[in-house]
Amino acid sequence: MAGNMDFQQFNLTDEHQALREAVRALVTDKIAPRAAEVDETGEFPWDVYEALRGSGFHAIHIPEEYGGEGGDALAACLVIEEVARACTSSSLIPAVNKLGTMPLLVGGDEALLKTYLPQVASGEAMFSYALSEREAGSDAASMKTRAVASRDGWVLNGQKSWITNAGVSSYYTVMAVTDPDARARGISAFVVHADDPGFSLGTPERKLGIHGSPTREILFDDCWIPEDRIVGAPGTGFQTAMATLDHTRVTIGAQAVGIAQGALDVAAAYVKDRQQFGKPIAAFQGIQFMIADMAMKLEAARQLVYVAAAKSERQDPDLTFFGAAAKCFASDVAMEITTDAVQALGGAGYTRDWPVERYMRDAKITQIYEGTNQVQRIVMAKQVLGR
Ligand SMILES: Cc1cc2nc3c(=O)[nH]c(=O)nc-3n(C[C@H](O)[C@H](O)[C@H](O)COP(=O)(O)OP(=O)(O)OC[C@H]3O[C@@H](n4cnc5c(N)ncnc54)[C@H](O)[C@@H]3O)c2cc1C
């Protein structure tokens, strides 16, 4: 909790630094050159997926015992940050693989972990996370999707909205109501397969940004799944879903930091080059102060995200506060920095000839998903005020 903070900081090891360099090299070679095209076409970048997979960066968080790289929470943040620095859509590959599998790591039994995690580690399957519904966004506990025990399994009916990577993921962690009288304590988590009978996809959403990351509804029409696909005990699904977000909000903070760094890189280079009134615009104090503020806010956001990542790794009791704070602060900062980057480029910034308008559009989603920043403030206030 905020009033009772653990001041132990993160430890950015030589291994972390080497990882950052390795991701940066891959991004420069394979991802940055594709970023504008991915945004323009709105197609899922399978070539980027394969490139990330080839280096184990598509799901670095999967523990070694399940065939993964065993990257810690800070390692996952570094991968997501460096990919987002060039292409936010692509950074959702490692981010959503973590989001989709985290409920299993938090609440699943050994059999589930052994069945699914190696497939994600090898890259043969991706995993999505399905909590939100049309009428249950911020108030996720009011969800209506039902799972009823039947024939040695569960029958699901209803829909989930805004599911990132729907259609490209093979597996979905789905939260559904098993006991309607118990509200949040009557929700359970399940693994649903894309080829389960009764599972289908809605049409792709047409979005402001993250065009290369598909967002679709997923629909359940008498969708039967075997009983061993429940994640943890019946009634623990909402708790698992919230515990998952404590960890993965940190990764959204990292994504926001990457987006902001990408925009600052472009703005800093541009203002040194662009001449007005007979000198580079970087010579004007008005521009210098803008760049200084961008760099200052970015570094504060980065430090907070890395501290939150260390807390995620250590399972510190104040992670709920820090996960919300890292996501909220970094995404608000990313929105400010990307907007200022467009301003620093003037008319050029407003065109698609430069990437800053894309960074600005992509930054917006980081203030909305995994709980809006209003919801993050509710979470933080509850932690501070103890309610
Ligand atoms: C591109 C995209 C990808 C997404 N990916 C996923 C995914 O993979 N899985 C998933 O489950 N969900 C996903 N989401 C859903 C996302 O988490 C929700 O959109 C978000 O939680 C907000 O819910 P809502 O859209 O229903 O907004 P609403 O809850 O209707 O909120 C509308 C506005 O009201 C405000 N508001 C609501 N309640 C309060 C309150 N108590 N106090 C103050 N303000 C409040 C909100 O902050 C917001 O500004 C995604 C959404 C988008 C757009």
Percentage of residues in the chain having pLDDT higher than 90 = 96
Q: pTM score, two decimals?
A: 0.97
What's phi and psi for 138, nearest 5 deg? -60, -35
pLDDT in tens, 101-131: 999 999 999 999 999 999 999 999 999 999 9
Which pair of tokens denotes residue 266? 């472009």
- Alpha carbon of 372 to ligand 1 centroid (Å): 6
Q: Which residues are catalytic?
A: 370
Tell the residue nearest (CA) to atom 37 of ligand 1: 138
Q: Is 369 in the pocket of ligand 1 (CB under 6 A)?
A: yes
Q: Are 258 and 80 in contact (CB under 8 A)?
A: yes
pLDDT in tens, 82-102: 999 999 999 999 999 999 999
- Alpha carbon of 148 to ligand 1 centroid (Å): 26
Residue 6 confidence (pLDDT):
52
Mean pLDDT, rounded, for 150-160:
96
Residue 112 confidence (pLDDT):
98
Mean pLDDT, rounded, for 216-241:
98
Residue 3 has pLDDT above 80, yes or no: no
Residue 259 confidence (pLDDT):
99
Residues 5-13: contacts with CB under 8 Å, at least 24 apart = 5/318, 6/311, 6/316, 6/318, 8/310, 8/314, 9/306, 9/307, 9/310, 10/74, 10/306, 10/307, 10/309, 10/310, 11/74, 11/310, 12/74, 12/306
Q: Is 207 in the pocket of ligand 1 (CB under 6 A)?
A: yes
Tell the residue nearest (CA) to atom 4 of ligand 1: 162
Which pair of tokens denotes residue 375? 């919801």
Mean pLDDT, rounded, for 205-225:
98
Rounded to an integer, what distance in angstroms lies between the CA atom of residue 372 and that of residue 326? 13
Tell the residue nearest (CA) to atom 41 of ligand 1: 375
Rounded to an integer, what distance in angstroms lies between the CA atom of residue 53 and that of residue 59? 8
Residue 5 confidence (pLDDT):
53
Of 3-7, 78-82, 130-134, 180-184, the range with the lowest mean pLDDT is 3-7
Which pair of tokens denotes residue 159? 């829909």
Q: 151-181 burial, b for 16+ CB within 10 Å, e for fewer?
A: eebbbbbbbbbbbbbbebbbbbbbbbbbeee
Helical axes 88-107 vs 46-54, angle rounded to 10°: 60
Q: Is 163 in the pocket of ligand 1 (CB under 6 A)?
A: yes
Q: 296-307 burial, b for 16+ CB within 10 Å, e for fewer?
A: ebbeebbebbbb
- At residue 371 the predicted structure's pLDDT band, cuts being 50, 70 and 90, is very high
Residue 9 confidence (pLDDT):
83
Residue 7 confidence (pLDDT):
57
pLDDT in tens, 311-342: 999 999 999 999 999 999 999 999 999 999 99
Listed in order, strand segments (DSSP E) in the chain are 127-130, 146-150, 153-164, 171-177, 187-193, 199-201, 215-226, 230-231, 275-276, 279-280
Residue 24 confidence (pLDDT):
98
CA-nearest of 153, 150, 155 to 227 is 153
pLDDT in tens, 34-69: 999 999 999 999 999 999 999 999 999 999 999 999
Percentage of residues in the chain having pLDDT higher than 70 = 98
Residue 85 confidence (pLDDT):
98
- Alpha carbon of 137 to ligand 1 centroid (Å): 5
Residue 124 or 151, more confident: 124
Rounded to an integer, what distance in angstroms lies between the CA atom of residue 283 and that of residue 289? 11
Residue 365 confidence (pLDDT):
98
- At residue 8 the predicted structure's pLDDT band, cuts being 50, 70 and 90, is low
On average, the pLDDT of the chain sits at 97
CA-nearest of 172, 195, 45 to 120 is 172
